[in-house]
């Protein structure tokens, strides 16, 4: 997918994450802050990168403010932000396809 415009999803409540995306410069630029950075920073990064790869996003500036979200929440927030960035989040979502 192509990131067409800035979009955000999620919150900074405990157990959630706030994900912001904006159009990139041909690569994936990830910035991450997390309340569980030392123990889970790498796993969070891996989950985010895998999700972007699944969505075929190749160019994006993505910023994550993580408040201890579980993997399933991180995925949901990244996917929602990406779909919102191309106005595609409301219907005909490929559940079980690239969303899995």
Q: Does the protein bind another protein through residue 2 (CB under 8 A)?
A: no
Give the total of residues touching another protein (CB under 8 A): 40
The least distance separating another protein from the CB of residue 16, rounded to whole angstroms, comes to: 5
Q: Does the protein bind another protein through residue 83 (CB under 8 A)?
A: yes
Closest CA to 44 of 18, 70, 80: 70
Residues 20-79, interacting with another protein (CB under 8 A): 32, 35-43, 45, 67-73, 75-77, 79
The whole-angstrom separation of Cα 1 and Cα 85 is 9
Give the residue carrying structure tokens 């690239």: 98
Count Cβ atoms within 10 A of the Cβ of residue 12 and give its class: 0-12 exposed, 13-18 middle, 19 or more buried.
exposed
The least distance separating another protein from the CB of residue 93, rounded to whole angstroms, comes to: 7
Q: Does the protein bind another protein through residue 93 (CB under 8 A)?
A: yes
Beta-carbon contacts of 96 under 8 Å, excluding residues fewer than 6 positions away, are none
The whole-angstrom separation of Cα 57 and Cα 19 is 15
Q: What is the binding site for another protein (CB under 8 A)?
A: 9-10, 13-16, 32, 35-43, 45, 67-73, 75-77, 79-80, 83-84, 89-93, 95-96, 99-100
């Amino acid at each position: 997918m192509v990131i067409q415009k800035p979009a955000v999803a999620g919150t900074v409540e405990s157990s959630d994450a706030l994900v912001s995306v904006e159009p990139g410069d041909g690569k994936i630029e990830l910035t991450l802050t997390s309340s569980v950075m030392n123990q889970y920073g790498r796993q969070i990064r891996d989950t985010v990168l895998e999700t972007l790869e699944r969505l075929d996003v190749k160019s994006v500036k993505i910023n994550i403010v993580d408040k201890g979200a579980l993997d399933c929440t991180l995925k949901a927030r990244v996917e929602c932000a990406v779909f919102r960035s191309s106005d595609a989040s409301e219907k005909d979502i490929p559940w079980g396809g690239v969303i899995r």
